[in-house]
Homo-oligomer: A and B are copies of this chain.
């Protein structure tokens, strides 16, 4: 792949060394080195200085950097932040396409600051709240999102996405290089506390204010290692960014990719034509995305078999059999993760099953990652009763039926909700992170998410999992995508309502025949679901409301339902 000429400030000096300074004598002991994911990019810059680290191709002025040049830019960024007054522990907000956020994953922690990547699809008010709550000291913003930070009370550095001199972001970096006074990496300090804060990502906040999820350097390091290992990332891998990096630090892949010495490709416009172009022509081996993103991808007119093996890491919700099968026909293997802290490890016995049966197993969220500690499914506190947050948790039976809440702990888990000890205390009930996801546990110890707490449908006193219903409805040959929410029912309290997008090929068959389709889908459901879980209403739609990470926004569907 082509390497473009970087700015002069991005070129490392001859004989550059990659050793950071120690804070006090105890920072690095012979057998104790504080874990820090910055280690990974520095290591790769030394082993493969000329290897393509990152490519940003589909813009007016494409840019790419080798690992040594990229490391220099990361260093420039760190110095630029320090020059701008950023102190250890300060938050640095970034509102930009993945290209910039990727660099910030290394540059911000090289300045011993905390990365706060902000969702580019938020409103001005939501962004203002996060900027205020995080106490960000400086903001890096892409020109397209400048309006989101208007009126900000801290310095704003705008990027024009050119990679060329005269671009304010590039000038900011150039000044960083100048400021370093050629001390290079040895002018920066290695963070002595591996439990120092690393990144602060805000929840989407569909219910109430967004909360700031804080992670540590140690946690990020161990999560990145696990993701690299579990996804099979190696120095021969090419990772395509489909997932927005502001979402949970791109599941720590910005560090997994550098740890495995792989190459990454970022897109300004994450659209199917661009994605397929790179899947087919750029040697892409890995990408991540929620099922809805994958469905869109696989249904795109550009879709065809890929020339090299590709792994699609799927999280956010469970992939359907249809999706797994569709991906397989294109040469893409689905890897189902959750968190990402669990992975659905395939069992040898599943290989003998039909795709349909196998997909039922692959739809489970599985077991903890190589560096994760225990994942449990436990009873939730009884509604209305006072909650003892210190009481030990009680596991649901491993019967594949009893619904409880997924809880987890260990080094991959978040440290706290930033500046919200009350929310942290609630989330950490029983000494575990309470995920809010409802699941069952099977006898083999695999968990299977049933729903978010708020998405469960209470139909005639029975708990119906909207996800389980969706999984079943998605097996209908004419269904491309489906989402199910509760709708009030005079007799049963609630009943499921399904919103369905038809497959392109099936539209002719059903267009204008909404009722006939509804009848056909209900019949299909009755064969496979208990009565209380069968949809009472079916509505055909052209699209479903989605978050920026491709998750269906059930809160929007519920608003539609409320107006019916």
Are B370 and A411 touching (Cβ within 8 A)? no
**What are the residues of chain B within 8 A of A411 when measuring CB–CB?**
31-33, 35
Most buried by B among A33, A261, A411: A33
**What are the residues of chain B within 8 A of A415 when measuring CB–CB?**
30-31
Q: Does A410 contact B (CB under 8 A)?
A: yes
Q: Does A514 contact B (CB under 8 A)?
A: no
Write out, one digit per residue, whether chain A residues 234-249 have a CB within 8 A of any chain B CB (1) or not (0): 1100000000000000
**What are the residues of chain B within 8 A of A32 when measuring CB–CB?**
195, 218, 411
Q: Does A431 contact B (CB under 8 A)?
A: yes
Q: Does A128 contact B (CB under 8 A)?
A: no
Q: Does A48 contact B (CB under 8 A)?
A: yes
Are A413 and B30 touching (Cβ within 8 A)? yes
How many angstroms between the C-alpha atoms of A39 and B374 in the bound complex?
10
- A335 to nearest B CB, angstroms? 13
**What are the residues of chain B within 8 A of A180 when measuring CB–CB?**
none
Are A48 and B371 touching (Cβ within 8 A)? no
**Chain A 257-304 interface residues, beta-carbon cutoff 8 Å to B:** 259-261
How many angstroms between the C-alpha atoms of A215 and B15 in the bound complex?
34
Are A431 and B28 touching (Cβ within 8 A)? yes
**What are the residues of chain B within 8 A of A528 when measuring CB–CB?**
none
How many angstroms between the C-alpha atoms of A59 and B405 in the bound complex?
49
How many angstroms between the C-alpha atoms of A235 and B229 in the bound complex?
11
Question: With A28-B409, A232-B234, A235-B345 given, is the CB distance from A370 to B225 under 8 Å?
Answer: yes
Are B371 and A225 touching (Cβ within 8 A)? yes
- A195 to nearest B CB, angstroms? 7
Question: With A32-B411, A195-B32 given, is the CB distance from A367 to B43 under 8 Å?
Answer: yes
**What are the residues of chain B within 8 A of A325 when measuring CB–CB?**
none
Question: With A28-B431, A31-B409, A409-B28 given, is the CB distance from A43 to B368 under 8 Å?
Answer: yes
Write out, one digit per residue, whether chain A residues 204-219 have a CB within 8 A of any chain B CB (1) or not (0): 0000000000011011
Are B345 and A47 touching (Cβ within 8 A)? yes
**What are the residues of chain B within 8 A of A29 when measuring CB–CB?**
409, 431
How many angstroms between the C-alpha atoms of A33 and B29 in the bound complex?
21
Q: Does A433 contact B (CB under 8 A)?
A: yes
Q: Does A148 contact B (CB under 8 A)?
A: no
**What are the residues of chain B within 8 A of A251 when measuring CB–CB?**
none
How many angstroms between the C-alpha atoms of A260 and B232 in the bound complex?
12
How many angstroms between the C-alpha atoms of A415 and B30 in the bound complex?
7
The residue on B at minimum CB distance from A32 is B411
Are B219 and A259 touching (Cβ within 8 A)? no
Most buried by B among A28, A373, A432: A373
The residue on B at minimum CB distance from A376 is B19
How many angstroms between the C-alpha atoms of A368 and B33 in the bound complex?
14
Are B30 and A370 touching (Cβ within 8 A)? no
How many angstroms between the C-alpha atoms of A433 and B219 in the bound complex?
27
The residue on B at minimum CB distance from A366 is B47
Are B414 and A31 touching (Cβ within 8 A)? yes
How many angstroms between the C-alpha atoms of A101 and B75 in the bound complex?
46
> Pick the contact of A33 from B347, B373, B398, B433 — CB < 8 Å?
B373
Q: Does A100 contact B (CB under 8 A)?
A: no
Are A445 and B225 touching (Cβ within 8 A)? no
Are A445 and B46 touching (Cβ within 8 A)? yes
**What are the residues of chain B within 8 A of A51 when measuring CB–CB?**
348
The residue on B at minimum CB distance from A18 is B374
Question: With A234-B232, A259-B370 given, is the CB distance from A413 to B31 under 8 Å?
Answer: yes
Q: Does A428 contact B (CB under 8 A)?
A: yes
The residue on B at minimum CB distance from A22 is B431
Q: Does A228 contact B (CB under 8 A)?
A: yes
**What are the residues of chain B within 8 A of A409 when measuring CB–CB?**
28-31, 33
**What are the residues of chain B within 8 A of A234 when measuring CB–CB?**
232
How many angstroms between the C-alpha atoms of A411 and B28 in the bound complex?
10
**What are the residues of chain B within 8 A of A431 when measuring CB–CB?**
28-30
How many angstroms between the C-alpha atoms of A415 and B195 in the bound complex?
21
7 nearest CB pairs, A to B: A33-B410, A33-B373, A31-B413, A31-B415, A30-B409, A47-B367, A47-B345
Chain A to chain B contacts (Cβ below 8 Å), 23 pairs: A15-B398, A29-B409, A30-B413, A30-B414, A30-B415, A30-B431, A30-B432, A30-B433, A31-B215, A31-B216, A31-B411, A33-B373, A33-B411, A35-B411, A43-B367, A43-B368, A43-B370, A46-B445, A47-B367, A228-B229, A232-B234, A235-B345, A259-B370
Known: A48-B347, A260-B370. 18 other contacts (CB 8 A): A28-B410, A28-B431, A29-B409, A30-B415, A31-B215, A31-B410, A31-B414, A31-B433, A32-B195, A32-B218, A39-B373, A48-B345, A225-B370, A225-B371, A228-B229, A235-B345, A259-B370, A261-B345
Q: Could you tell me which A residues sit within 8 Å of B by CB distance?
A: 15, 19, 28-33, 35, 39-40, 43, 46-48, 51, 195, 215-216, 218-219, 225, 228-229, 232, 234-235, 259-261, 345, 347-348, 367-368, 370-371, 373-374, 398, 409-411, 413-415, 428, 431-433, 445
